[in-house]
A = this chain, B = another copy of it.
Amino acid sequence: MSSQRPHFGRVAVIGTGLIGSSLLRVFRREGMVDELVGCARRAETRERILELGIVDRALEDPTEAVDGADLVIIAIHLGGYAALADAIAPKLKAGAIVTDVGSAKATVLETLGPRLPEEVHLVPGHPIAGTEFSGPDAGFAELFRDRWCIITPPADADPSAVKTVAAMWRAAGSAVETMDAEHHDLILAITSHLPHVIAYTIVGTATELEEDVQAEVVKFSAGGFRDFTRIAATKPDFWRDVFLTNRDAVLEVLDRFTEDLSALRRAIRRSDGAEIFNRLSRTQEVRKNVIDLGQDAEWRR
């Protein structure tokens, strides 16, 4: 089970949007599975994933979809986890592995842990990959290549199940890191959730400007604002669920940010050039580290 490329009899992917459909494509490409089952609420999505050839069967009912599956991948919004777990729990096969791709992880252990049968192995995961697009047509098998995937197994997780989930992500091209769910949530609150809180806010602020000013903001957006519109382009229900489920860590880093913003605002208001300079200088080292780690290529705007 823990070989470099695992093989599964039946895999069920619940939710076939950007991430779910990309994973389905990875399974197809790697030939890692005998039967691929996709589960989608909307009839047109089910038709589409069959047309795309990325599933063998497309089902509406998750309870039916997980029947006999060796691996169940939950790729729906975090807000739907509790109801989904209640629905699938009775049909899960003993020894099956359940994983997910959600952006907050303590909530997954809390929500799924008590709801799943003891003889099922829960190994939550979070691929640090995405685009601003959604739906099964937006997916592509290369989405996870050279990306990180963080897995956050509970303390008593089955080591062989953890190895299998890690091997699946490696087969997708990702580097795998294992950590505590709480630690994941703090790191991601800073690297991803706070940036999204802020980007949505600044773009929202712009929407309340007078109409003519707003048109010009869009026209001259190349100076920085454009990058924020891109960060704030994901569907709102996705981020609503992330902010609700990783609430404490998000509020914690948001408070730190707000303190620092007040200090910079004060320096600007007082025209304190030396203090502004000091505050702006702190960022140079972090940027250098990001480039050194190859997280960003040399780049021209």
Residues in B whose Cβ lies below 8 Å from that of A296: 221, 226, 229-230
A interface majority secondary structure:
helix
Output the least CB separation between A4 and chain B (Å).
23
Output the least CB separation between A280 and chain B (Å).
4
A268-B295 Cα distance, complex, nearest whole Å: 30
Q: Specify the chain B residue showing the minimal Cβ separation from A254.
A: B265
Specify which of A201, A208, A219 lies most central, judged by the most chain B CB atoms within 10 Å of its CB: A201
Residues in B whose Cβ lies below 8 Å from that of A150: 220
Output the least CB separation between A210 and chain B (Å).
10
Residues in B whose Cβ lies below 8 Å from that of A254: 261, 265, 268
Whether A240 and B191, one on each chain, are in contact in the complex, defined by CB atoms closer than 8 angstroms, is no
Residues in B whose Cβ lies below 8 Å from that of A228: 195
A204-245 vs B: 1/0 string, CB under 8 Å? 111111000111111111111111111111001101100110
Q: How many copies does the complex hold?
A: 2
Which one of A35-43, A155-163, A182-190 contacts B?
A182-190
Q: Which of B192, B219, B269, B286 contacts A224 (CB 8 A)?
A: B192
Whether A251 and B268, one on each chain, are in contact in the complex, defined by CB atoms closer than 8 angstroms, is yes
Residues in B whose Cβ lies below 8 Å from that of A250: 268
Q: Which of B202, B240, B264, B271 contacts A247 (CB 8 A)?
A: B271
Specify which of A215, A233, A280 lies most central, judged by the most chain B CB atoms within 10 Å of its CB: A280
Question: Chain A: residues with CB nearer than 8 A to chain B?
Answer: 79, 128-133, 147-148, 150, 186-188, 190-192, 194-209, 213-233, 236-237, 239-240, 243-244, 247, 250-251, 253-254, 256-258, 260-261, 264-265, 268-269, 271, 273, 276-277, 279-287, 289-290, 293, 295-296, 299-301
Q: Give the 3 A-B CB pairs with smallest separation, nearest first.
A: A192-B223, A195-B224, A236-B280
A129-B196 Cα distance, complex, nearest whole Å: 25
Output the least CB separation between A236 and chain B (Å).
4
Whether B224 and A191, one on each chain, are in contact in the complex, defined by CB atoms closer than 8 angstroms, is yes
Residues in B whose Cβ lies below 8 Å from that of A130: 223, 301
Residues in B whose Cβ lies below 8 Å from that of A299: 131-132, 230
Whether B236 and A289, one on each chain, are in contact in the complex, defined by CB atoms closer than 8 angstroms, is no
Q: Which of B207, B209, B219, B257 contacts A148 (CB 8 A)?
A: B219
Residues in B whose Cβ lies below 8 Å from that of A186: 213
Whether A218 and B293, one on each chain, are in contact in the complex, defined by CB atoms closer than 8 angstroms, is yes
Whether A201 and B264, one on each chain, are in contact in the complex, defined by CB atoms closer than 8 angstroms, is yes
- Given contacts A258-B261, A284-B236, whether A223 and B131 have CB atoms under 8 Å apart is no
A281-B281 Cα distance, complex, nearest whole Å: 34
Output the least CB separation between A18 and chain B (Å).
10
Residues in B whose Cβ lies below 8 Å from that of A233: 283-284, 287
- Given contacts A191-B223, A276-B244, A277-B240, whether A218 and B264 have CB atoms under 8 Å apart is no
Q: Which of B192, B265, B283 contacts A251 (CB 8 A)?
A: B265
- Given contacts A232-B283, A277-B236, whether A293 and B219 have CB atoms under 8 Å apart is yes
